[in-house]
A and B are shown apart, each in its own frame.
Chain A
Amino acid sequence: MPLIDVLFPLGIEHYLVGGIFIGLGVSFLFISTGLIGGMSSFFTTSLSFVSSWSYFNQADFISSRNWRLVYAAGLVIGAAFWCFFFGESFQTSVSWWQLSLGGFIAGFGARLSNGCTSGHGICGLASLQLPSLLAVIIFLSSAMVSAAIVKSLGGV
């Protein structure tokens, strides 16, 4: 079997095309408005709508919460567009304890780090930020370890 089929058993085209679309989205955001389009800040800035705690009500959270909410709505609409024209609806078989425990730790960590796969990964790497490169190397490594441990515990 050729090496490329071993490394990418499902092919590479959809990965490449999808990645280019993500890059075009972040690029369009920057060209039109100058904004940097990471996703994880959305979670903290949106909490300012419902929490009176001062951390969530910092000036830069309040000033960016509206566009981040619209950006998140765009994500949902874009995915629905894909589902309607190209794909089909599917439900993950990953178990609820993985989805909830993993989501909680990922949410806490991404906000402590001030970035996730899109913030540090795409936007940080694209702006040649060393802290973001280190963050990407660290989260890819720790994710590989925890994914292996979860599998050994019988997770999906």
Chain B
Amino acid sequence: MKISSLVCVLIAGMLFGFGLSYASMISPEVVLSFLRFEDFGLLWVLGAASFVTFLTYQLVPRVMSKPLLESVFGVHPSEMSRDTLVGAALFGIGWGICGVCPGPAIAGLGAGNWPLAITLASVFAGAFVQGRVRDVSLAGED
């Protein structure tokens, strides 16, 4: 990928990380208070982020034939499958235990919330086990 594209990726990530922090999503206590019906603010974060993104995803491809720096607009690859739904249920169970989702586990370090490094390492471990389980089951089908 071109350097100019990577610079844009970095800026996009910075906006994302700034937003997560500004919205206090890097505080597990705030996320857990939402999941326990004590403060519904997380719905505004998810709603506002989704709405802005919705406008972009729906409108931009109608006025631009391709992105500024690359050749094609991507599409979110979600499929209706057992893995998608079972994985979502498991993801939620883990999220409800720690109050940290993958984005804040990364961004939290920038704000000096060091205990989130435990979650960051654990998410890596979970992703590693998932990949190895899938790897073995793929090998078994050959």
Contacts and interface: CB of A to CB of B under 8 A. Distances in A.
Given A15-B41, A113-B83, A75 B107 contact: yes
Interface in B97-123: 97-103, 105-116, 118-123
A44 B111 contact: no
A67 to B, nearest CB: 5
For A43, A53, A76, A128, the residue with the greatest tally of chain B CB atoms inside 10 Å of its CB is: A43
Interface in A12-31: 12, 14-31
B9 A74 contact: yes
B110 A26 contact: no
Interface of B: 1, 5-6, 8-30, 32, 35-42, 44-58, 60, 64, 66-81, 83-103, 105-116, 118-132, 134-135, 138-139
14 contacts: A15-B42, A20-B52, A32-B68, A44-B127, A73-B13, A78-B13, A79-B111, A99-B122, A104-B123, A105-B90, A107-B102, A120-B78, A125-B50, A142-B89
A34 B15 CA distance: 17
A106 to B, nearest CB: 3
Contacts of A93: 29
A138 B49 contact: no
Contact of A33 (B21, B26, B69): B69
Given A34-B73, A107-B123, A126-B50, 15 more contacts: A19-B49, A20-B49, A26-B56, A31-B64, A33-B67, A79-B20, A86-B22, A102-B97, A105-B94, A106-B123, A111-B87, A131-B81, A140-B92, A141-B92, A143-B35
B12 A112 contact: no
Contacts of B51: 23, 126
A46 B124 CA distance: 9
B15 to A, nearest CB: 3
A62 interface: no
A80 B102 contact: no
Interface residues of A, number: 122
Contact of A29 (B9, B40, B115): B9
Contacts of A43: 102, 123-124, 126-127
A3 to B, nearest CB: 11
Contact of A74 (B11, B32, B66, B138): B11
Contacts of B10: 70-71, 73-74, 77
B56 A30 contact: yes
Contacts of B50: 23, 121-122, 125-126
A32 B112 contact: no
B91 A74 contact: no
